[in-house]
Amino acid sequence: MTNTDDKLQSWRSPVFLSAVEECRWAREVAAHAHAGQRDKAGEPYFNHCQRVADAVSGDREKAVAFLHDVAEKAPGWTPERLKEVGFSSEVVKAVELLTLQPGETKDALVIRAASTPLSLAVKRADLKDNLAQMKNMGRSGDVYLRGLHLLSEASSVLPPQRRAGFQRQKDQGSSTGQPMGTSCTAKAKPVKTTGGRLNGAVRAVLAVIAILFVGGCALGVWLLYT
């Protein structure tokens, strides 16, 4: 993105972003951070981030989806830097839970990702997208199937309050009217107004007034000279 470097230099905490703004900023940062990177199929890596974001609902989940590989795969990006450029603690924490740590196994990462509603939803979408990509390439996706199984097992033993939080987030995502796959960067539909009809009515009234005025003047002149 052309203005991202300037924003990274000037946008520092404390900055309050709405969920929609945070999602749009996450998309821009991810596109910048993954620029030039390719995935296992040779496609731009950001396409994977976009697909994962499209697979979840709610702007917070989409923000995490865009950023889920930034701290792990993009040089110079850390959770601390994400905080500095204005992302909320909730989003940054979820990104941390989705980031492979030194010496950590991928199984351990999957189990850890199940610990919060945000990271759980995004990790599930991430694994499913990787699995679909492997199938499209004619390669084995067993590692991703195993990850989905582990994620399901880990989420089933979440404390009740965390499971309730996950359900609340799902409900909030559906109550916004934002369908799955809708990007938070989608342009708003133009709003229809009655301005045109009002302007037409005003013009009609003015025309009547003008006619009455001209008629009155003509009548006055006729009476004056008769």
**Quick one: 13 and 81 in the same domain?**
yes
**Quick one: 139 and 203 in the same domain?**
no
Q: Is residue 183 part of a domain?
A: no
Band (pLDDT 50/70/90 cuts) for residue 9 is low
Mean pLDDT on 49-54: 98
Mean pLDDT on 137-154: 96
**Quick one: 148 and 222 in the same domain?**
no
CA 173 remoteness from chain centre: 12
Find all residues with CB under 8 Å of 200, minimum gap 6, and list them. none
Q: Is residue 200 part of a domain?
A: yes
Paired strand residues for 38: 44
Determine the Cα–Cα distance for residues 135 and 168; give it in Å rounded to an integer.
33
What is the reported pLDDT for 218?
Answer: 53
Domain harbouring 87, CATH code: 1.10.3210.10
Paired strand residues for 44: 38
Residue 96 clears pLDDT 80, i.e. is over it = yes
Mean pLDDT on 180-203: 45
Mean pLDDT on 73-93: 95
Instruction: Decide which of 151 and 174 is more confident.
Output: 151
**CA atoms in the 13 A half-sphere facing the CB of 2:** 0
What is the reported pLDDT for 184?
Answer: 72
Q: Give the length of the chain.
A: 226
What is the reported pLDDT for 212?
Answer: 57
Residue 4 clears pLDDT 80, i.e. is over it = no
What is the reported pLDDT for 181?
Answer: 46
pLDDT digits (tens, 9 = 90+) for 27-40: 999 999 999 999 99
Domain ranges, residue 225 = 195-226
**Quick one: 166 and 211 in the same domain?**
no
Q: Is residue 187 part of a domain?
A: no
**Quick one: 96 and 131 in the same domain?**
yes
- Whether cis (ω within 30° of 0) applies to the bond prior to 160 is no
Domain count along the chain: 2
For a pLDDT cut of 70, what percent of the chain falls above it? 63
**Quick one: 120 and 218 in the same domain?**
no
State the amino acid at position 96 in one-letter form.
Answer: E
**Quick one: 86 and 170 in the same domain?**
yes
